[in-house]
Amino acid sequence: MIVRRLARWLRTSEASDEGAILVLAAFLMILIFAAAALAIDITTKSQHRSDLWTTSDAAALAGASQLPDFPYNAKSEALKYALANDPSLAGGVNPTFRCVVGDRNRDGQPDPFDIPQACNPGPPSPPAPPTLTGFICADGVCAAPCNPDLGHKCNTIVLETDKTTDYAFAPVIGIDSGDTNVLSAACRGTCGGGAAGPIDLMIIIDRTGSMNDANNSLDKAKDAALAVLDFFDPSLQHVGLGVLGAGNLGVCNDLAPTIGGSSWLGVPLSSDFKDNLDLDVTGDGIPDLDGSSTLVQKIKCLSFSSQGTNLGSPISDDEFGRPDTMSHLLTFGRPGVKKGIILLSDGAGTEPDPERPPCQYAAEMAAKAKAAGIEIFTIGLGVQGDTCAKDGTGPYVGASVTRLLANMASNSVDNCSGPNPELENTDGDHFFCEPKSGDLASVFLAAASQFAGGSKLIQLPPGA
């Protein structure tokens, strides 16, 4: 409009050609400078948005590192990191929490295993999102609001971050500043997908005679171990097999020969369990694992052992000097990769010998592994009410097996012997207990995902 008026004025004006050119040049210079100034302000705001997003993402990751066990630490860590990188964000960072789980079969509902293992948002609060569970699902992931103040278990922190950019040139046209806001979400654990980080993990399965029962406990343990392999990505997660009940037979249903006698180490750390998918372990008609993998074969055909229950030597064999899982992890594990042991047993220690109290020996061997930087998870199968009856001296005389297994695990307490033992599997520590009639696969997966889960940025479903 202004340009058309100027052209009309130039046609009707009595001004000289030289004057008209000067006026036009001056006007064009104003337009050029205004465009340049606007471009500078737009570039400044764009750079501020990029910096804000970087800061917000990093702060969310810092907060997620504390989830799900310490939500208040998660909030303070996120705020501290954000303000340390940009003090102008004071009052502009709003942390909230979510429970993010999987919808792996894409039926629009959260996978039941993930709740409460990964997180638990409690019953939906009205007005609930448009599902019966309070979750919004999209692209194989479900999310629901989560409030630690109400006792909810939350695995995701969301930061809504706002920043005001003061313009340098736009005020001449009445625009003094512009607001920028970004939303960052970071989750710890599986977050509806697979395991997040690289690990070296040994799974120790109890195959002593007590596992040969009406509940098919050994078969359940083997299926649970296979479920862990199905869950893992062998390019990141390497897995080996230890056994409670050493062997030295070179046949499928026992262990490969070892130099100098039998071994607690069934299969070394392996990454070939998904090389050629030809084995369906989930029963859905889709191949999950490589049936030719030594690890898969040994798990599938483990048989019962006539040995007593030695809970300590499969971890670290100070008594007999046989190959054990701790030595293997420290010698053959990848440098810089987290190392862990999951040990399943259905009873108290009865070995190695009368001179060494079995439960005390087991606790000492676990402590040795933990001191070497190995995380230990323990699973008690039907052990409620069992005691360390073979310990005649030492700290475990008359002690419950649940106390022993909790002490063997990293940073854990015994919540299994109380009136609500099922709460043990949702308290976030490394000790789990399950009745012999229970679902071992979900417990194994909970331990494995807790160990392998790191913090990562995620995209929430729209509206969540």
Residue pLDDT, tens place only, 150-187: 989 999 999 988 876 656 555 665 665 667 788 889 89
CA-closest candidate to residue 201, choices 225, 185, 220, 179: 225
What residue segments make up the domains of the chain, in order of their start? Answer: 54-192, 199-454
Would you say residue 10 has pLDDT above 90? no
Evaluate whether 89 touches 82 at the Cβ level (below 8 Å): yes
Predicted pLDDT of residue 410: 93
Short-list 60, 63, 59, 79, CA closest to 71? 63
The yes-or-no verdict on residue 373 having pLDDT over 90 is: yes
What distance in Å separates the CA atoms of residue 435 and residue 380, rounded to the nearest whole number?
8
For residues 333 and 269, the answer to whether their CB atoms sit within 8 Å is yes
pLDDT of residue 339: 96
Alpha helices in 345-439 (DSSP H): 358-371, 401-408
Q: What is the pLDDT of residue 106?
A: 84
What is the mean predicted confidence (pLDDT) over 311-326?
A: 94
- Non-local CB neighbours of 322 within 8 Å, separated by 6+ positions: 246, 258, 260, 261, 262, 263, 264, 313
Cβ(272)–Cβ(235) below 8 Å: no
pLDDT band of 44, cuts 50, 70, 90 = low
415, two tokens: 């919540």
What is the percentage of the chain residues whose pLDDT exceeds 70?
A: 78
What is the pLDDT at residue 35? Answer: 60
Residues in the chain: 464
* Residues with Cβ within 8 Å of residue 241, at least 6 apart in sequence: 202, 203, 204, 205, 225, 265, 266, 267, 295, 298, 299
Predicted confidence at residue 365, as pLDDT, reads 97
CA distances to 249, 252, 266, 382, 384 from 219, rounded to whole Å, are 20, 15, 17, 15, 21
Is residue 22 over pLDDT 80? no
- Residue 16: helix, strand or coil by DSSP? coil
What is the CATH topology of the domain spanning 199-454?
Rossmann fold (3.40.50)
| Alpha helix ranges (H) inside 286-342 | 294-300, 325-332
Distance CA 219, CA 223 (A): 6
Measure the CA–CA gap between 94 and 100, rounded to whole angstroms: 19
The DSSP letter of residue 245 is: E
162 backbone dihedrals φ, ψ, rounded to 5° = -120, 145
The band of 132, judged by pLDDT with boundaries at 50, 70 and 90, is very low
pLDDT classification of 107: cutoffs 50, 70, 90: confident
Most confident of 13-27, 38-52, 280-294, 417-431: 280-294
pLDDT (average), residues 82-111: 86
Q: Given a cut of 60, is residue 6 above it in pLDDT?
A: no
Could you identify the residue written with the tokens 């007005």?
127
Which of the residue ranges 363-372, 420-429, 448-457 would you say has the lowest mean pLDDT?
420-429
- pLDDT, position 129: 42
Q: Cα separation of 307 and 377, whole Å? A: 23
**Is residue 323 reached through a cis peptide bond, with omega within 30 degrees of 0 on the bond before it?**
no
Average model confidence (pLDDT) across the chain:
82
For residues 209 and 131, which has the higher predicted lDDT (pLDDT)? 209
pLDDT in tens, 268-294: 999 999 999 999 887 878 899 999 999
Using the Cα atoms of residue 426, residue 432, residue 433 and residue 436 in order, give the sign of their dihedral: positive
pLDDT, tens digit (0-9, with 9 covering 90-100), for 215-268: 999 999 999 999 899 888 899 999 999 999 887 655 565 655 554 567 899 899
Q: Is the pLDDT of residue 15 over 50?
A: no
Look up residue 208 and give its DSSP letter. B
In terms of C-beta density within 10 A (0-12 exposed, 13-18 middle, 19 or more buried), how is residue 112 classed? exposed
What pLDDT is recorded for position 42?
Answer: 63
Instruction: For the chain, report the end-to-end CA distance as a whole number of angstroms.
Output: 46
* Residue 142, phi then psi, degrees to nearest 5: -125, 145
Q: What SS3 class is residue 211?
A: helix
> Which helix (H) or strand (E) is 19 found in, with range?
helix 17-64
**Rounded Cα–Cα distance for residues 149 and 147 (Å):** 5
Q: Which DSSP category does 150 fall into?
A: G
d(CA 114, CA 101): 6
